[in-house]
Structure 1
Amino acid sequence: MKLKYCLLLALVLTSLNLLAQKADTITVVSYNIHHGNPPAKPGLIDLDAIANVLANQKPDFVALQEVDVNINRSGNINQAEYLAKKLNMYFYFAKAIDHDGGDYGVAILSKYPILEQHTLKFSRIEGVKAEDRVLAIVSVKLANGKKVAFGSTHLDHQKDEALRLLQISEIVKYAEKEKGTFIIAGDFNAVPNSATIQFLDKNFTRTCNQCGFTIPVVTPKRTIDFIAFKPSRKISVSSHEVIQEHQASDHLPIVAKIIIK
């Protein structure tokens, strides 16, 4: 009887261990880096400060916004590549517009090799003057073999929501093509009770409900930065928080731990 009990216990423990091995907890960070320029120090570019903030979180994925690539104002360097090398991560940059001799847009840093990469350029509204905006998407395989698609975006900033609603609808339409796990993060330039975020919430699950303020960096009073994923019974949120870094950029970064079975 004792031997049977021991064998049963060993079987249960083995099963639990196998189940644990089939789940991965990933750390996702979203950060509008203001091209590496601390607002309190005009003209200064301090990418190392950004890198230190990110390194402290030990991220699996990072969504970056307001990234310069070979732009005069920031020293003609590829900021996405610089941060990736600092953090020993892979990267993908998605250009939104030409700016000051170079390219300006969003980027993704990934702990895992990038298998596929794509830029979704959002549509424009005729007669509305605005910067072009994009969604950067990469696909990777996690340690448990699960394929994950991850996106970084920066939606329109104007008071009128028309462009943001168009952009979020195009993200949702793209997400319908992704059959597996799809996580997006970024600066949505919209607060939780806006039509933009309400539309997001109908199609994605945010990693926070009562989300902490992310802007302005000194005495923040609005939440416009979010992490979200396509609803799935195989995905849950372990934690979400606003990182209290008030010097490196004009946004506070956010971090979430997501469990993928």
Structure 2
Amino acid sequence: MKEDAMKRIMLIVLCVCMFACYACEQKQITNLKIMSYNIRHGEGMDNVLDLSRAARVIKEQAPDLCGLQEVDNSCLRSNKLEQTDYLAKKTNMIGTFGKFMDFDGGEYGMATLSAKPIISTKRLQLPDGIAEPRSAIIHEVQIAKACTIVFVNVHFDWMESDEGVSSRLNQAKVLMQYLDTINKAVIITGDFNCSPASPTMKYFNEQGFEFINKGDDNLSFQGETKVELDHVIFRNTNDIKIKAISIDLLKEPIVSDHRPLVAELEVIY
């Protein structure tokens, strides 16, 4: 009897240990909505300056993280409005402006909006473009109680020449040098000013980034020449895996010369 009782105790202990190990290995999942929008400083395709239209689009989508490009800060052409603060208030999000250069009595650059707590912010200076300076906004963001990721907003050189191609690639390489010092899962979004087949996007793929395919409706720039310039890419770590659920370019033909890009992601940690 004693031997049988000991075996039963050992079996119970083994089951408890196995259950504990199983529980430790269980992953948690959180969904994340990413948005990227080149807002053209609030001037629509109808040549009307009305930033409230971009604010409406963003608020309707309610993203967790949003990268904005072509943002003014107190510029004369946009009525001296601090556009990042305006959009942050209208959408109930945290706003961060990243200056490229002094412009028109104020500053010109880009911005991020976040509905999640921001742990740290880095404005990384990138190699100057052919016509304009460039930088990236890099946030460490807490997307869940036990999960932080890095969210990057970019707006690479817009020149179409061979020099522009080289400039974008150099900007991507400087960004990667910094990101490689951070051992965290990374999401990059923004106006890359290049197609998925470009040297810049191929470089990101070589660095372990996954590209979210938009399908047939992929032309994000809706100016005179329609092209695919706006993207969401991500890179996993051993502990955090990101999966694409969906990606859409919204049909907003008036608000800006770029369509809003919205991606639904699943983060497993």
Q: Do the aligned residues in 1 keep the contact of 2:101 with 2:133 (CA within 8 Å)?
A: yes
Q: Do the aligned residues in 1 keep the contact of 2:31 with 2:266 (CA within 8 Å)?
A: yes
TM-score (norm 1): 0.86
Q: Deviations over 1:60-91 (max 9, x none)?
A: 00000000001111011111111011010001
Identity of aligned residues (%): 33
Q: Which of 197-206 and 67-76 deviates more?
A: 197-206
Q: Deviations over 1:110-134 (max 9, x none)?
A: 001222111111124xxx8420011
Correspondence for 1:104 among 103, 108, 113: 108
Q: Do the aligned residues in 2 keep the contact of 1:94 with 1:135 (CA within 8 Å)?
A: yes
Q: Do the aligned residues in 1 keep the contact of 2:214 with 2:247 (CA within 8 Å)?
A: no
CA shift at 1:217, angstroms?
4.8
Q: Which one-letter code corresponds to 2:32 in the other structure?
A: I
User: Structure 1: how far apart are the matches of 2:264 and 2:251?
Assistant: 17
In structure 2, runs of 5+ residues without a counterpart are 1-18
User: Structure 1: how far apart are the matches of 2:134 and 2:146?
Assistant: 32
Q: Which of 23-32 and 49-58 deviates more?
A: 49-58
Q: Which of 136-145 and 67-76 deviates more?
A: 136-145
Aligned to 1:235: 242
User: Structure 2: how far apart are the matches of 1:148 and 1:82?
Assistant: 26
User: Structure 1: how far apart are the matches of 2:221 and 2:251?
Assistant: 11
Q: Do the aligned residues in 1 keep the contact of 2:214 with 2:248 (CA within 8 Å)?
A: no
Q: Deviations over 1:100-158 (max 9, x none)?
A: 0111111110001222111111124xxx8420011011112123321121111100011
User: Structure 1: how far apart are the matches of 2:169 and 2:144?
Assistant: 35
> For residues 246 and 98 of structure 1, do their structure 2 counterparts lie closer, same or farther at Cα, with a shift above 3 Å needed?
same
Aligned to 1:245: 252
Q: Do the aligned residues in 2 keep the contact of 1:175 with 1:230 (CA within 8 Å)?
A: no
User: Structure 1: how far apart are the matches of 2:223 and 2:260?
Assistant: 10
CA shift at 1:93, angstroms?
0.8
Structure holding more strand per residue: 2
Q: Which one-letter code corresponds to 1:214 in the other structure?
A: S
> For residues 210 and 200 of structure 1, do their structure 2 counterparts lie closer, same or farther at Cα, with a shift above 3 Å needed?
farther
Aligned to 2:82: 78
Residue 189 in 1 paired to residue 193 in 2? Answer: yes
Give matches, 1:49-64, under 5 Å. Answer: 49-64=53-68
CA shift at 1:163, angstroms?
0.6
In structure 1, runs of 5+ residues without a counterpart are 1-11
